[in-house]
Amino acid sequence: MDMPKIRSLSGGANQSGLRDYNERLLLSMLLRNGPMPGSDLARLAGLSSQTVSVILRKLENDGLLERGEPQRGGRVGKPSVPMGLAPKGVLSFGLKIGRRSSELILIGFTGMIIDQISINYAAPMPEEIFSFLTEGIDKLLQDLSEAERSRICGIGIAAPFELTNSYKQQDNIYEDFAAWSDVNLVEEIANLTNLPIHPANDATAACKAEHVYGRGKEFRDYAYFFIAAYIGGGVVLNHSVFEGHQGNAGALGSLRSIGPNGESRQLIDIASLHLLEKRLEQVDIDPKILWDSPQDWSSISRYVEQWIGQTAQELAKAALSTCSVIDFEAIVIDGSFPADVRDELVERTRRYLANQDVRGLIRPLTEAGSIGRDARAIGAASGPIFAQFFLNTNVGLVQI
């Protein structure tokens, strides 16, 4: 099978006043393409070899880059030395606050998870979350050297839109967040740490993780569905995660659908894991199995199969609804479930989509995401890193 093409970055400048931009450009190119020699970076960035050499030397001295093994090509001369991101050159915390569980992770410069801890609960309560955060940071710091601690650049927070905006509805989705109505999440966390704080919608954070560290390199424009206790989503346009004016773009869980009795419903009501959770409770099975790690759902496969069938039908309809607004080339599906469940859900959605009425539309590809349940926490943790070391994804991205 041919490897997917990775669309690269371009658009550097040689003016001395844009040095910081060029550093971010080269770091972004190395993140996107992997280790590369300076000559290739100069060609792709449109910068002089001397400019690139000076920047790479500085970034290496700062501990952000490391040298790979020399590679000799077919031509006579010195072998080229690829430069790559130092995995622990920069570190960042990511906190995911979910409706049934929270995770705190520490990631490195390339997005790899260095350490993580988690808790499960019936509903997220502020006091419990803040205690988990402070105790968790202390625990994760214990295994780091002083040099590594000095490289922590911030903490990203991924939380549902309903949590950060203090919705007051009293249905079963919003009841979990009643305790947060008078809590300013960012201000409270700022009282606990001096680290820079970067909040994000949880599904948007998951989309960012997939886009940067997963399959996002393969597609220019796509809609992203992430299924956890409740379904959410994200939108990628022209290689960039589009967050919208209020940070709530890609709220795909709010797409309209029709219930069994003709009533108006949202996708969040009929294509989320809370439906499987309720089914397990009805047959006296502890739904905690859905949120345990590592994930193994083999003992509840008969109920999972029923859930997949219903969810796949709804995802197929939702996929076409999104494509009627934007001509997405792909629909990417991921979630907080085992890989085999994700793959079966994607395949069933693909089959249902093949039988949908697509008049006036171009049927999109239906693909599986690759990050899984940690996507929201990884996407959150990447926020401080991108803010300080990489290009804003809305600039500098072109096809080459």
In degrees, to the nearest 5, what angle opens at C-alpha 227 toward C-alphas 302 and 310? Answer: 45
> Which of the given ranges, 8-12, 87-91, 256-260, 263-267, has the highest pLDDT on average?
87-91
For residue 172, what are its two tokens? 């079963």
Write down the mean pLDDT value for the chain.
88
Calpha distance 110→32 (Å, rounded): 10
Query: Hey, what CATH topology would domain 91-205+377-389 get?
Result: Nucleotidyltransferase; domain 5 (3.30.420)
Calpha distance 183→108 (Å, rounded): 30
pTM recorded for the entire structure:
0.89
pLDDT at 244 over 80: yes
**pLDDT at position 108, please?**
97
**How buried is residue 348: exposed, middle or buried, by Cβ count under 10 Å (0-12/13-18/19+)?**
buried
Please say whether the dihedral angle defined by the alpha carbons of residues 253, 254, 257 and 258, taken in this order, is positive or negative: positive
Q: State CA 242 to chain mean position distance.
A: 13
pLDDT at 394 over 60: no
- Superfamily of chain region 215-370: ATPase, nucleotide binding domain (3.30.420.40)
Task: Compute the average pLDDT of residues 207-234.
Answer: 95
Q: Kindly indicate the confidence band of residue 54, based on its pLDDT and cuts at 50, 70 and 90.
A: very high
Torsion of CA 375, 380, 383, 386, to 10 degrees: -20
Q: What is the enclosing helix (H) or strand (E) of 335?
A: strand 330-335
Calpha distance 383→186 (Å, rounded): 14
Class of domain 16-85: mainly alpha
**pLDDT at position 83, please?**
97
pLDDT 10s digits, 335-356: 999 999 999 999 999 999 999 9
Q: Are strands 222-227 and 330-335 parallel, antiparallel or unpaired?
A: parallel
For residue 53, what are its two tokens? 């050499």
**Domain layout of the chain by residue ranges:** 16-85, 91-205+377-389, 215-370
pLDDT at 61 over 60: yes
pLDDT at 393 over 60: no
**pLDDT at position 294, please?**
85
Calpha distance 225→140 (Å, rounded): 30
List, in order, residues 6 or more apart from 327 with CB less than 8 Å away: 221, 362
Task: Compute the average pLDDT of residues 37-66.
Answer: 95
Calpha distance 269→259 (Å, rounded): 9
Task: Compute the average pLDDT of residues 257-268.
Answer: 84
Q: What is the enclosing helix (H) or strand (E) of 234?
A: strand 231-237
Q: Kindly indicate the confidence band of residue 77, based on its pLDDT and cuts at 50, 70 and 90.
A: low
Provide Rg for the chain, Cα atoms.
22
Calpha distance 395→322 (Å, rounded): 24
Task: Compute the average pLDDT of residues 199-225.
Answer: 94
Q: What is the DSSP string of 37-99?
A: EHHHHHHHHT--HHHHHHHHHHHHHTTSEEE---B--SSSSPPB-EEEE-TTSSEEEEEEE-S
**pLDDT at position 178, please?**
77
**pLDDT at position 263, please?**
84
Same fold: 91-205+377-389 with 215-370: yes
Task: Compute the average pLDDT of residues 317-330.
Answer: 95
**pLDDT at position 311, please?**
97
Q: Kindly indicate the confidence band of residue 245, based on its pLDDT and cuts at 50, 70 and 90.
A: confident
Spatial CA neighbour of 227 closest among 305, 328, 311, 123: 311
Report the percentage of the chain scoring pLDDT > 90.
Answer: 75
**pLDDT at position 248, please?**
84
